[in-house]
Amino acid sequence: MSKPPLRVLALSLSLAYPLLHALPARADDAPAPAAAPAADTPPATGTPLPTVQVTGARNRLDAARNGLSPDTGSTIYKFEKADIARLPQGDDTPLNQVLLQTPGVVQDSYGGLHVRGDHANLQYRINGVVIPEAISGFGQTLETRFADSISLLTGALPAQYGYRTAGIVDITTKGVDAESKPFAGSVGVTVGTQRSRELDLTLHGTQGRLSYEFSGSYLGNDLGIENPTASRNALHDRTHQRKGFGLVSYLLDDDSRISAMAGVTDNRFQIPNSPGQSTSFSLAGAPDKDSSTLDARQRERNRFAVVSYQSVIGSDIDYQVSLFHRTTDVHYTPDPVGDLQYLGVAADILRRNEANGAQADLSWRLNSAHTLRTGLFAQREHASTANNAQVFPADDDGNQTSTTPISIADSGRLGGHLWGAYLQDEWKLDRALTLNYGVRYDQVDTVTKEHQLSPRLGVVWDATPTLRVHAGYARYFTPPPTEKIDTTSVAAFAGTTNALPSDANTAVRAERSNYYDAGAAWQVTPKLTLGIDGYYRAVQHLQDEGQFGNALIYSAFNYAHGKIYGVDLSATYKESSWSAYLNLGTVHARATQVETGQFNFEQDELAFIADHWVHLDHEQKLSASAGGNVRLPDGYALGASAVFGSGLRNGFANTTHLPSYTSVNADISKRFDFGGGGPVEARLSVLNLFDRTYQLRDGSGIGVGAPQYGQRRTVYVSLTKEF
């Protein structure tokens, strides 16, 4: 069937060989089943397609979509649905905790992750389509339960991937097979300590040309934000989180389909309190407020929608075009009296960002040796900040000169665009050697107007049937995150108790870096695989983020220079009834000279950083994760996982680090099959099994706010009914 010509807007080169699967024990490396043959002549419009033909068409389009976004790069870690189910919380595992079970990934407070010494800088995709990032907060925007598989791609990435490049998190939604039902799904309930309760519902099915998937959940507990004290139960830490995701796909014919997906998140948090604190400021007519009774809160919302059209041109060209929209906001509401008395400022802050854009990708199989891939990404953003603050007048030393607060409205807006294009070639030099080379061009015009042409090069060599070696180079261009640009006016707060330490350049710059990566994977036996990967990154205008001010919202800034290097090790073992894995990562991440956002720093700290290479606050020199699961007779299963960290940086200019810690999780589950009604799974999970007390942050260090302790022992009981 002929197709309308696609006007290719941009082109690029990429590592297109199935790259280094560093944890093949977690992924099924077998090729996807061949699609069922389609009829030579499609039935007339309006006639239902036979089930086998519809399934074959969907499988063929799924495979083509994977070809548009190939798993190519220095290293990929992949979790199939069965791998997620083996984790102690199963499908209830938050997405960040799934990713934490890979080497080189470090946990931080507020659910944050750092991959290979980067601060955040993660890109999220669903079925290969970029999901614009939300404003950083405490809650997770995407859920694990609607995923059929989750992949983390990191290293020297091919030209297809730009902007957020520390790691590409690609979520593949549930597929469709010949046995798919018109209506199926599951319902679950979880209860636990700290007044935890969670309800979830998933639905999916197919009806002729139409397929759909839906996932929704509600979570409430007293573990919204990390406890600022070492006590078991935090004060004023209730959270309510609601999430929903839906996808509908319609098969237009054997070779094309249209899909629409949308997601919504609404998370509310109480800001936890530290008892026994002393006030620093006096408020006229108000007695000192007990620090354990403060009532600051934060609300985070995120909504996105994507419409995609996927089709072919002839037998060798596959393409997909997507349009997307996203709105996100974070609203911090202070305790009007308490924030003034303890902080000298009570600021009601609302940050909002709206993004619209398009993404197009095309793959062209020229011959058996060459596959070209090209694409375009364009995004338009509008961001705003509304800051309505109550502050006290102050002298030049910051001392309060009046007990009567004054009001200051400090609002700002900014907008702009981001676009890029790539062209890449997958060149199979012979059966064992593949060269991927390409280039991408990116331009950003927001608080900064910059552009860059970025070459990419990678090679994969199957030295033996059991040993795969790779090496790569990538030039990266990371535009500043518009939603994290601090638009605070230095002049507006001069002469108040919220006066900023210094004047500064607020226009955060794009980060530019040269990334080198090399590694190998060795399949020692059919069940045991070992992996090693080393990397080095030289950075100009290194971007970092910090929590500056009283609101728990991150703001971006730049160091002039940075250097990051490290090594990741992995081992996996997998049999039919049990599996185990071990990951180790070591990283050195340093930078010098703060060149933007200086108003967030004290003068002595700025002077020290100007003359020294300082550790980045998210550097953790050694991290490790491990886990195992065994399937017993009669439907029983036992599992455990553990995370080790040598401690994030703290102290003046990050010159020291926090103590090391180890946290162990465990679970036992039982699957009951009652016949035609669908199975029921019962699970008992225990997080931080040995109830270790450890700090993620102590309130010191560059851009670090309040102290945060790791989650104490928490027990969950869950029931999941499939239908």
What is residue 116's DSSP assignment?
T
pLDDT per position as a tens digit, 603-619: 899 999 999 999 999 99
**Number of CB atoms found within 10 A of residue 200's CB:** 21
- Kindly tell me if the per-residue pLDDT of 700 is higher than 90: no
Distance in angstroms (rounded) separating the CA atoms of residues 625 and 642: 6
pLDDT tens digits, 621-679: 999 999 999 999 888 999 999 999 999 999 999 999 999 999 999 999 999 987 777 89
pLDDT score recorded for residue 181: 79
pLDDT value at position 12? Answer: 33
Helix (H, G, I), strand (E, B) or coil at 622: strand
Residue 588 to residue 594: CA distance in whole angstroms: 19
- Average pLDDT taken over every residue of the chain: 86
Max Cα distance, the chain (Å): 86
DSSP code for 706: S
Q: Which residue has the tokens 């302790």?
A: 709
Q: How confident is the model at residue 73 (pLDDT cuts 50, 70, 90)?
A: low
- CA–CA dist 92, 669 (Å, integer): 13
Neighbour tally for 672: CB within 10 Å: 12
pLDDT value of residue 486:
67
- Under 8 Å CB-to-CB from 131, ≥6 apart: which residues? 124, 125, 142, 263, 304, 306, 324, 326
pTM for this prediction: 0.87
- Lowest mean pLDDT across 35-44, 163-172, 510-519, 531-540: 35-44
Interatomic CA distance for residues 273 and 294, integer angstroms? 7
Q: Which residue has the tokens 């971007």?
A: 543
Task: Give the integer Cα–Cα distance in Å for 645 and 657.
Answer: 11
What does the pLDDT read at residue 323? 97
What is the pLDDT, as a whole number, of residue 471?
93
Q: Is the pLDDT of residue 254 over 60?
A: yes
Q: Is 259 exposed, middle or buried (0-12, 13-18, 19+ CB in 10 A)?
A: buried
pLDDT of residue 119: 86
Q: Tokens standing for 261?
A: 């997906």
Between 316 and 27, residue with greater pLDDT: 316
| pLDDT of 600 above 80 | no
DSSP lists the bridge partners of residue 229 as none
| pLDDT tops 50 at residue 13 | no
What confidence tens digit (pLDDT) does each residue in 126-179 have?
998 998 877 665 567 888 988 999 999 999 999 999 999 999 999 998 765 545
pLDDT category at 553 given cuts 50, 70, 90 is: low
The Cα angle at residue 272 between residues 496 and 394, in degrees rounded to 5:
10
Q: CB neighbours of 72 closer than 8 A, spacing ≥ 6?
A: 14, 15, 16, 17, 18, 19, 158, 160, 426, 436, 458
Say whether pLDDT at 308 is over 90. Answer: yes
On whether the CB atoms of residues 496 and 394 are closer than 8 A, the answer is: yes
What's the pLDDT score for residue 492? 85
pLDDT for 51: 52
Residue 33 clears pLDDT 60, i.e. is over it: no
53 vs 637, more confident: 637
Query: For the residues 199-211, what does the mean pLDDT come to?
Result: 93
* Kind plus residue range of the DSSP H or E element containing 67: helix 51-68
Question: How far apart (Å, rounded) are the C-alpha atoms in residues 588 and 623?
Answer: 12
Contact 144, 150 (CB under 8 A): yes
Q: Residue 155's Cα: distance from chain center in Å? A: 16
In the predicted model, what is the mean pLDDT of residues 21-30?
34
pLDDT band at residue 457 under the 50/70/90 scheme? very high
Question: Would you tell me how many other CB atoms lie within 10 Å of the CB of residue 513?
Answer: 22
pLDDT digits (tens, 9 = 90+) for 342-394: 999 999 999 899 999 999 999 999 999 999 999 999 999 998 989 999 999 99
Mean pLDDT in residue range 297-316 = 94
Whole-number Å distance between alpha carbons of 125 and 61: 18
Residue 28 pLDDT: 34
Q: Which two tokens stand for residue 454?
A: 């970025």
Q: pLDDT band at 396, cuts 50/70/90?
A: confident
Residue 267 in this model has a pLDDT that exceeds 90 = yes
- Provide the pLDDT for residue 481: 83
DSSP strands (E only) in 606-646: 614-615, 622-631, 636-645
pLDDT in the model for residue 58: 73
115 pLDDT above the threshold of 80: yes
DSSP one-letter code for 440:
E
